[in-house]
Structures are given as C-alpha cells and as structure tokens.
Amino acid sequence: MIAVIDYGVGNLFSVEKALLYLGADVVVTQDAETIARADKLILPGVGAFGDCMRNLTATGLIPMLLDRVGRGCPLLGICVGLQILFDGSEESPGVPGLGIFPGMIRKIPAAGLKVPHMGWNSLDIREPRQSLDLFAGLSANSYVYFVHSFHAVPQDPAIITAVTEYGARITAAVAQNNVQATQFHPEKSSAVGLQILRNFIQN
C-alpha cells in the first residue's frame, strides 16, 4: 500500500488519481497508524516552503515519517515535497526542513527569464543511475512539467539524478538510498510522468 501524506498542501488527489490509474493500492492519509503500515510513502507539496513545514509539523507526523525513512521505507517527494527534505530554504529563512538531504533550497538563478519557472522542460538524466531508478524506460530528453521558483542545491551533488535547463542548470530530481524526489510534477507530466510513477510503484 502506498500512503500519500495529507498535511493540507499539495496535489493530493491528482497524485492519488494517477496512482489509481496505474493500478496501485493507494490511500491519502494523515493517520499515523496507516503511515506506519504503508509499504511506500509519497510526500507532495505546493506553495511556500515555510507553510509546508508548518503544516507538516502541526500534524505531528514528522517523527513517524523520519522513523519510516530511517528504517528503509521508500519515499517519493514531489515539488515542495522535494524541497522540505533539505535543511532549509532561502524562501523561508529560519524555518528548518526535514534534513534528510544535507543542503539548501536556493532561488532559481534565471537572469532575464520569468520566475516562477512554469511549463514543460526536458530532463537531462544523470549517470550512474541510482538503484531505485525513477527514470527507467524513458527516452533521452523526456519532457516534464514544472512550477517552481526555487531548486535544490545539495551538499553532495552526487545525489542529483536529473537536471533541467532554465537560464542555468537546475536540479530536477534527487535520490539517495530509499528516498527519491522530483522538483517537477509527475502527476501532471502525461505519459512520462505516469512512467515515473509506475517505476516508483514497481521498484
């Protein structure tokens, strides 16, 4: 069973709908017991970093979430759900993230381009790929859908699994061990996004 964590933000039901379309056993929940039983977790997120962290903190689920991740439960972060996996963000100074990935979320350095970055951009998938490969079966330069003003700058660049170009090379996805995350929205990325979610379900 895949638990989509409901903390009052994110495209919860778009993610749920995509997973159901792929035949997954999925539940949108903020129930700790359900999350404790889940085989895999998805952490969505839309809006400001600080608001997402405050909402997640208010649920009381952070200790459970960190415990499940620490015990090897696969986790997929989406959009701000990627960002809050890091230590903090320039968007919300002084608000700590979950700290699963060392590093910071920085403003997109896209001089002369409109920010937020909204729309379809191609992925440059990095090699070697992680053992849990979200991008299996995708063709080179597959396009996915982004809506964001900030991106991840990990302390260890080796965790970056895909980048995209928007005035500069910006982080599109990260992965380490059982935790993976995408800055783009797979649930809004048509057939490519469905393949990414299918890979998460099956791996």
Distance CA 169, CA 172 (A): 9
Q: Which is the catalytic residue, given 117, 148, 151, 185?
A: 185
Q: Is the dihedral of CA 149, 88, 152, 1 positive or negative?
A: negative
- Is there a cis peptide before residue 128, judged by omega within 30 degrees of 0? yes
Token pair in block for residue 182 = 């995408």
Distance CA 123, CA 140 (A): 8
Site of tokens 């890091």 = 86
Q: Tell me how many helices (H) and strands (E) the chain has.
A: 6, 13
Count of Cβ atoms closer than 10 Å to residue 156 Cβ: 11
Q: Which is the catalytic residue, given 52, 79, 148, 151?
A: 79
Look up 187 and say whether it is catalytic.
yes
Look up 185 and say whether it is catalytic.
yes
Look up 79 and say whether it is catalytic.
yes
CA nearest neighbour of 48 among 98, 4, 10, 5: 10
Active site residues: 79, 185, 187
